[in-house]
Amino acid sequence: MKLFIDSANLDEIREAASWGIIDGVTTNPSLIAKEGRDFIETIHTICGLVDGPISAEVIAPTAAGMIAEGKALASLHKNVVVKVPLNIEGLKTCKALSSEGIGVNVTLCFQPAQALLAAKAGATYISPFVGRLDDICEDGVQLIKSIVDIYRQYPDLKTQVLAASIRHPLHIVQVAAVGSHVATLPFKVLKALYSHPLTDKGNAAFLKDWETVPNKDILAQVAAFQARQGSAA
C-alpha cells in the first residue's frame, strides 16, 4: 500500500520525505489555509520535495471553472493530480480532465455508489473518508472494503482507492488489510506508525550492552579489518 502525507506544511513534508517511505502528498483548501502561504508556491515547492502524485484541489463551483483551474494546476508540474469534489460538477470535471490525460483525485466520498461513478468518470484516485464516517457511528473501513471489492469485479476500472481521513495507526492497518491502494495520513499519525515502547526498550538494551564491547567504533573496526585483509593478500 502506498503512503501519502496529508499536509501542506513544508517542514512536515520535508521531514517525512527524508524517511524514504512517502509516495505522494495530498492537500486541500483547509490545509492550505492553515499554513497561510501562497497556494501555487506551496504546491510548486511540494513537487520539489516529493517525487510522486501531489493533489491540489480546485475551488470553483462549476465544471467550467473547475476544468480551467484543473488545467492550470496540472501545468505547474507533471506530478500534480487535480482534486475535485464528488458532486455532479466534479464528475463532469473528472471526465473532462481525465480524457486529456490529467490525473484526478475525486474527494469527499462516503458511499460505494459515489465511488463507482467516480471510476466511470475516469478518476485516478477515489478518496473515501474513513474517520469522518467513524465520527458518526458508521464503519469507515467497511466503506474502503466495499469499494475495493466493487472495483475488483471490473478490471477495466483503473481507479485506485485512496483511504483518507485517517485518525490513528489502527486505521492504516485496517485499510491495508482490506486492500486499499493508498492511504493518506497526517504527520502525527505517520510518526505514530513507527513508535512502540518495546522497540524503544529493546534498542536501549542493545546499545547499553554494546558499551561493554571493546573497540566500539564500527567504522574503525571495518577499516582495520579491511586493512588486515589487504595485508594478508
Alpha-carbon gap, residue 1 to 183, rounded angstroms: 7
Q: How far is CA 88 from CA 62, 91, 97, 160, 175, in A?
A: 9, 5, 14, 20, 27
Per DSSP bridges, beta strands 104-109 and 80-85 are parallel
Phi, psi of 54 (to 5 degrees): -120, 110
The number of residues making up the chain comes to 233
The answer to whether residues 128 and 163 touch, using CB atoms and an 8 Å cutoff, is yes
Please name the helix (run of DSSP H) or strand (run of DSSP E) that holds residue 225, with its range, or none.
Answer: helix 218-232
Sorted by sequence, the CB contacts under 8 Å of residue 207 that are 6+ apart come out as none
Which residue has cell 520535508?
Answer: 14
Which grid coordinates belong to 38? 501562497
Alpha-carbon gap, residue 159 to 97, rounded angstroms: 14
The answer to whether residues 23 and 52 touch, using CB atoms and an 8 Å cutoff, is yes
Q: Which residues are catalytic?
A: 83
